[in-house]
Each structure stands twice: as C-alpha cells, then as structure tokens.
Amino acid sequence: MGFEIREARDSDRETLISFVQGLNAVEAEIRDDRDPSPKAAERHLDYLLSLVEEQEGFVLVADKEGTPIGFLLGLYGEEDGFFCKPGHRQHGWISDLYIHPDYRRQGVANLLLGAAGQRYLQAGFSSMRISTLAENEAAIETYHRYGFKDLYRAFEIKLSD
C-alpha cells in the first residue's frame, strides 16, 4: 500500500485547508448550505484547530510516499446531561475525515480510523463516534464497513425557503 499515518505538522496547513475545502465541496453537492470557498475552509480549519487545542485532540495525516492524501481530526466527546451511566459518557469523536478522491476505496480511511481508535483506547475510552450527512451514502457505507453502527438519527424541517 505504501500509506503512512502521522501527526499533522505546521507545514501541512495549506494542505489541510485544501482537504477541508474538498470536504466542504463534497457536502455542498448534497446540501446547499455548505460553503466550499477557500476562505470558508481556512476559517473552519482554524475553528477545528482551536477545538483540538482546547481538548488536547489530534490531527492525523495519511501520506503516500511523502504526499498528504487525507486527514482525520479527533476530539474527545461527552454526552451532555446524566442519562448515561458513569463510564459511558465519554467517547472519542471523529470531527472530520477526508481522503483525496484519487485515493478513496484503498483502505486509507480504515488506517486513519484505526490510528484514531488506538489513541482513544489509550485515553481510556471504550467507543468512538463519527457522523455524516444523511445523504452522504459513500461515507455511510465506509463507516458501516469499518464497523460503526447507527447511534442517533437527527431530523430537520425547513421553516422557510
């Protein structure tokens, strides 16, 4: 395969912006509320990196022969309220996952998810979560193939055009 998973570096910034923009573009094909512009991607990456810093999360990059081809942003989640039993409230949270189109369906997402899962296990979590748009069938298929099970369903109704 020749894929390597590593920590993101400061020098990856422009690549990460392009990956966030790519993810936004995929979602813009599904929903008209997504902004696939470079400026939106840069602002969103800055927001995500602030969450990583606050939560001591992580950003992993997948490389193929030294070229970044995808990324995963991992955070630490916790259920709000007290409806979950103690020990079940905290979980690993995959905020963003993107693979360059040329490298999809080659196991890169599995490698990134596996590396994130190991981090969460080391942190003492027993579960990892990820979400996607309901219409993003490719992502849903990938997550189900990896072993994720549906947990919640969110519903939306447009109140105005």
- List all residues 6 or more positions away from 152 whose beta carbon is below 8 Å from its beta carbon: none
Percent residues over pLDDT 70 in the chain: 94
CA-CA distance, 45 to 15, in Å (whole number)?
A: 11
pLDDT at 1: 62
Least confident of 13-22, 60-69, 76-85, 139-148: 76-85
Per-residue pLDDT at 91 exceeds 90: no
Least confident of 28-37, 100-109, 111-120, 151-160: 151-160
3-state secondary structure of 74: strand
Q: Indicate the pLDDT class of residue 88, thresholds 50, 70 and 90.
A: low
pLDDT at 8: 97
Task: Answer yes or no: pTM beyond 0.75.
Answer: yes
CA-closest candidate to residue 9, choices 50, 65, 49: 49
Which of the two residues, 62 and 154, has the higher pLDDT score? 62
Q: Indicate the pLDDT class of residue 148, thresholds 50, 70 and 90.
A: very high
Query: How do residues 108-137 score in pLDDT, each as one tens digit?
Result: 999 999 999 999 999 988 899 999 999 999
Per-residue pLDDT at 145 exceeds 90: yes
Under 8 Å between Cβ of 117 and 92? yes
